Amino acid sequence: MEKTTRAARDILDGEADDREVKTARLRKARLEREASLPDKAAEPKAKKPRKKAAAKPA
């Protein structure tokens, strides 16, 4: 049982390392993209209020 536990732990550790590398790469790319954008473009646009539905006659 110890062999399978060790093998499973090795696989999971490898996957966790891959995830951390990918997250760091994506974070770096996002920060570089945000830094290259003008200040106005980085701000989200305000949404327009929704129109109210017309009242149905009773």
List the chain domain ranges: 2-35
The Cα–Cα gap between 1 and 11 comes to 16
- Distance between start and end Cα atoms, the chain: 73
Rounded-to-integer distance, Cα 35 and Cα 28, Å: 11
Q: Note the pLDDT of residue 32.
A: 94
Check if the beta carbon of residue 34 is closer than 8 Å to that of residue 42. yes
Residues 6+ apart with CB under 8 A from 34: 42
For the entire predicted model, the pTM comes to 0.56
- 7 vs 38, higher pLDDT: 7
Instruction: Give the residue, 7 or 44, on which the prediction is more confident.
Output: 7
pLDDT tens digit string along 18-42?
A: 999 999 999 999 999 999 987 665 5
Distance, CA of 5 to CA of 26 (rounded, Å) = 31
